[in-house]
Structure 1
Amino acid sequence: MTTNRRTLLTAAALSPVLATPALHNAYAQAQVRFALDWALQGNHGMWALAEDRGIYRENGLSVRMDRGFGSGDTLVKVASGAYDIGFSDISGAVKFNAENPDKRLVSIYQVFDRTAAAVVTTKRSGITTPQGVAGKRLGAPEGEGSRLLFPAFARAARIDTSGIRWTSMAANLRDTMLMQNQVDAVTGFLFTVYFNLVGIGLPESDILAWPYAENGLDLYGSAIVVRADWLERNQDTAKKFVRSSILGLRALIADPAAGMAALKRREPLFDEALEARRWAMTRDRSILTPNVRAGGFGVLNMDRAQQLVTVNAEAYGIATPPTAASMFSADYLPPAAERAV
């Protein structure tokens, strides 16, 4: 054996990390705790595919993804440090940031260019237009975002609210109460309420819905949110996570069946057929909007961001709301060429 070969073999034996670059890369991965907004639904396939197809790994990340229990709960968990990153309706952060400036939350990628908040009813209610809810019985959980934003939507859609009677209920009873005619219409996320109604047996032909964003109140929807001080310390990790999310979204758009299968592996009770349809509605109504088709995934318009702050400040009675600049950032998005639709 030559001296050079003996030296190389000895070095390899003493330096296993150098001899196994894959192991070295695993140790270099940034650990991320990621909380969703709710139980697994079709749009969450973008993150399941990011993991299953090695997108996170290729971007130097190791991500633990957990289901959520509502956008408000996710905001609190990210703000508390229990999670590094969350996926949540950004409207809720206006009130949170106003009340907790030391735990300020920031949107670094608007996944939903349009809010999914909507009024949903059935044909038997007799309501045929958004204005038709005047004088009717509306239902939603007390304090839920779509309900709090309804007055702003009503102004934009010219709805007379003087005779509307609200019924409060738990979120899991909203769809049943509508189907049983205990209320005439409900407010909530379009693709949540719509497919919950389908799931409990209401024919689709009987469902009518008017999304706020398509009827005068065009606000941003759910986003990747992080705490501001975490962001300062982990700017590179934030950029990698956003880039991975967009790559995962591209994978989901290209192969929805794979995304549903990835979620099914994580939740055996996951209904792939129904969730594929929920995903298609989410994609077409909240993600691939005209704004995104023109400006790319995550495109940020600060006038729209300010509108969201103003509308929510009014809805929650916030005298001194946070600035849009303190709540939204495009600095962590990939270059425009990587975000083009």
Structure 2
Amino acid sequence: MQNCLKNSRFTMLIRRNYVVTGKRTDGLMRHLRDDNGIDISGSRQKKELLSIGYYHGYKGYRFIKVSTNPIGYNDFDEVLAVYNFDMNLKTLLYPNIMAVETALKNYTLDTLVSFGNLDLETAFNNFLNDYRSHSSSDTAYKTKLKSYLSLRSKIDGAISHYYKKHDAIKHFLHNGQPIPLWAIFEVLDMGQFGLFLQCLNEPIRRQNCSNLNLTYRGLDPDGRLVEVIIFLLKDLRNAVAHNGVIFDCRFKGNTNAKPLIKNYVSFETSINNIDFSDLVDYFILIVLLLKKIGKTKTDLKRLIRNFKDETETLRNQIPVNIFNAIIGTDHNVKLTALEAYV
């Protein structure tokens, strides 16, 4: 009884002291004008603010990378321009990044066929055994074994989560048959797939890179390039798929691209200053991969042209200093070189 009274008093205290309040749209417009120096007025801009939302829309697009680096907007139409640019790029990138993910999984399956049966237990015993290349007393052995065990746990979790929803996995489980890797790959997210690639032994990794024509032995002697690509793209893929903000690459957090991928993309495309601090570098990598998996020159040039059109539209709608802070000062040079590459 005392606990019930105590919980009741606690609930009343929360309700009394933590009332959630909000502003009507007119109040939010005054806040933008008076506190943020952004000119916004009239029924058109009011409807546009309602459409994009103050919290998901304006607040998500009011800064570059971190909230301590605000964008100096003067007019609400500039906010809309950046918002629309971001949304249009996600529409442009989504089918292409999904095509890359699907192709990399299929190419990996094609590689694994040469090394044994394509079921899960064979994979764990014969493919995902990179840790065995070290003595059990080595630090590398312990690190790689931990990754191997983590992968097993993640795959078991994916099977448990999806078996009622995924007809193929349900079929093989109910019939007591080994689950084929193609079915496993369908339920692995990009990060889990990257961990799968990381656990592959070196001969398979190198063959997989060769199969994808992602090879340059001086840069990648042990075949790590495909997994590095996957780990680099996974956060962009998730942001695109779940409508996160992408224009300023905030999806990557504090992680930095590895020298291997920066050097490889520069070597392959002859484009300098690839560091993945701006979205154009991710776009270059996606185009590179689309070329490797057989997309036509016509399709690639159309994709590049569409990307350029979006950046030019943005350039014409916001001040130059904001545009350069978002896009980078060398994006035109990079896109021209990318057109020459394809």
Q: Which has the larger radius of gyration?
A: 2
Q: TM-score, normalised by structure 1?
A: 0.32
Q: TM-score, normalised by structure 2?
A: 0.32
Compare relative contact order (CA 8 Å, sep 6+) and give the higher one, 1 or 2.
1
Instruction: Indicate the structure with greater helix content.
Output: 2
Instruction: Indicate the structure with greater strand content.
Output: 1
